[in-house]
Amino acid sequence: MHLLTSWDADPVRAFKEFVFTTAFAETGRRPRADGTLRLLSAESAKIYIFMFNNVASWIMEQGLTFSTVSQADLLRFIGRTVKGKRVLNSKIAYRYLRLLERCYEHLEVTPNPAQQAILGIDRAHLARDEAGRSLSEDQLERFLAALPADAPRRRRSTPFDGWKRRRDRAMQVVIALAGLRVSEAIGLLLPEVGRQAAIDGSIVLTITPDEKHDTSHEHEVTLLREGADELLPWLKEREAMAIPGQLVFPANLTGARMTRKTVYMQMRATFGRAGMDLARSGGRTLRNTFARRQLDNGAKAEELKDVLGLALERSAADYKLTRVRPDPEE
């Protein structure tokens, strides 16, 4: 009880002391691959402290203390409006409640008011907010810089050692710079890749529904030189290895199809090497980033529909994309 009393007396100070500890890391339930705890970076701690200060200020304004806040109070906090508009969207509201849930869990408060409040969030809104996540230009550069590295040639016992790393690297570049769905990248066929590079070094990909998800629509998209410089060498290596079949990115030497799970795991590893712990560190985020860049370059809804292979123009018009900074590690 003494610990809870100190949080009532000076919640901001108590949280600052808590956020840098292993106790806070334990509430995150996200160990590294080796089983050790994932401690916060200074940047993530700064974001969390900012968020907690907002909550603490509101609690004080309401004449409450940290120990007397209820589920209903927290729902009022996240549901605040200004001129009829919500102050917090569902995604940010969830992050606030998740942060408070960790605090109350640490303090062994039962029932946990933040945990109860999480059940009251509009998860449909949350899903829409998450669907709009994209990378900033800086984040995209960090992602590309963190792509799977090639093994030094002097360490190869055969010329093709490490070919899967080069395959994964080329695939992730194509997803990021051509806006392909993961299913489209997995099912990309050799005849769909334009072999002759344009004057600016770009190539055109002609995406068809063949070997892809049934929601894919035929469309053409230009892969910029940065992407072509990764894809074309991989295609030459694939040809030299005499891998059978038509898949650009085969799973193995027999030409089998890759699984979505494998691709997602590889992309998450790249996000991890880039120092980004985004909640949606996958193909959707990269596709959103491509769309956001198209919009920044002046693309209209009809043009965006065409390059993304969307069925309806309104789907492109409703493509709400936002630049985001890396999420703090949860």
Report pLDDT for 9. 93
Summarize the confidence of residues 73-80 as an average pLDDT: 91
Report pLDDT for 226. 92
Residue 192 DSSP class: G
Q: What is the mean pLDDT of the chain?
A: 82
Q: Say if residue 124's pLDDT is above 50.
A: no
| Rounded Cα–Cα distance for residues 195 and 118 (Å) | 51
- Per residue in 84-95, pLDDT (tens digit) is 777 877 778 888
| In contact, 258 and 251? CB cutoff 8 Å | yes
| In contact, 228 and 288? CB cutoff 8 Å | no
233 is written with which tokens? 């060498």
In terms of average pLDDT, the best of 27-41, 196-210, 233-247 is 233-247
Residue with tokens 């890759």: 258
Report pLDDT for 252. 95
Report pLDDT for 28. 73
Q: Say if residue 316's pLDDT is above 80.
A: no
- What one-character-per-residue DSSP string does 257-313 give? PPPHHHHHHHHHHHHHHTT---TT-SHHHHHHHHHHHHHHTT--HHHHHHHHT-S-H
220 is written with which tokens? 């053409």
| Rounded Cα–Cα distance for residues 288 and 133 (Å) | 7
Pairing of strands 85-86, 219-223: unpaired
Predicted confidence band at 133 (pLDDT cuts at 50, 70, 90)?
A: confident
98 is written with which tokens? 């998740």
288 is written with which tokens? 């959103």
Summarize the confidence of residues 275-290 as an average pLDDT: 79
Report pLDDT for 127. 47
Query: Structure pTM?
Result: 0.58
Residues 6+ apart with CB under 8 A from 206: 192, 194, 218, 219, 220
